[in-house]
A = this chain, B = another copy of it.
Amino acid sequence: MSDDTQTYARTDRTTPTRYRDRAVWEREAIHAILDSAYICHLGFIADGAPVVLPTIYARVGDRLYVHGSTGSRPMRGAGADEGLAVCVTVTLVDGLVLTKAAFNHSVNYRSVVAHGTAHQVTDPEELAVAVDALVDHSVPGRSDDIRRPTAKELAATAVVRLDLDEVSAKSRTGGANDDEEDLGLPYWAGVVPVTTVHGTPEPHPSTDVPLPAYLTDLHR
């Protein structure tokens, strides 16, 4: 973090080479995007080659907790003292931007890219906080309405921590941007909004309680 705690410090790799005006480093804007997606894409290096895997995650303050697999390669790397170099990326698609020229087609989106070193969470108290955060990330309030994890289950849960430090957000909003000379062409231009919605919750046959309020709100 920079001295101004409202903004993450800018570095070479959090400064895009293109569309720099779409990038922001504001803490609040970055956190809002991180709190809105279901999954992240975790990038790391294995045998000299890049690997990108989708997984669940949660934010607690300026920390990201990313779910891994016990015994998997990235977890072993993150378990070592030096940690594991990672890039965690979160992206939401908000619209398809159709322009009269093929060249100006675009996408409305919000994304966050976080660079750093991930460490496996081994402290039992921190692990318990992280697991609650993972459960609450998609369904706020859920961690108060479940059978709590046992010590054995916690020990079998692999979570890595990445401190948010070298991080930026990038987004595009707004309508179609055609070149002046293309505006009169007889093609449809505009935006097709894209949204992620929840369907009606489908209870498991063993469920004999009414739909909890936190799922009613989610469904709205």
Chain A residues in contact with chain B, CB under 8 A?
Answer: 13, 17-18, 38-39, 41-54, 56, 69-73, 85-89, 91, 93, 95-96, 98-103, 105, 107, 109, 111, 113, 115, 131-132, 134-135, 138-139, 142-143, 145-150, 153, 156-157, 175-176, 178, 182-204, 206-212, 215, 218-219
| A219:B190 contact, CB within 8 angstroms | no
- A135 pairs with B86, CB closer than 8 A: no
Please give the count of copies of this chain that the complex contains: 2
Once the chains bind, are B196 and A194 in contact (CB under 8 Å)? yes
In the complex, the answer to whether A103 meets B149 with C-beta atoms within 8 Å is yes
B85 touches A102 (CB 8 A): no
Q: Which of A46, A71, A189, A204 has the most CB of B within 10 A?
A: A204
Docked Cα-Cα span, A218 to B157, in Å, equals 41
Which residues from chain B contact A207 at a C-beta distance below 8 Å?
187-190
Ordered by A's residue number, 20 sampled pairs between the chains whose C-beta atoms are within 8 Å are A13-B47, A18-B69, A18-B72, A48-B85, A50-B85, A98-B142, A100-B147, A102-B132, A102-B143, A103-B149, A107-B138, A175-B202, A175-B204, A188-B203, A188-B209, A188-B210, A189-B207, A190-B202, A190-B207, A194-B196
Q: Tell me if B199 and A193 are in contact (CB < 8 A).
A: yes
The one of B17, B195, B210 in contact with A69, judged by C-beta atoms closer than 8 angstroms, is B17
* Chain B positions within 8 Å of A73 at CB level: 17
Residues from chain B with Cβ under 8 Å of A204 in the complex: 175-176, 178, 189-191
Residues of B within 8 A of A89 (CB): 41, 52-54
B54 with A45: CB separation less than 8 A: no
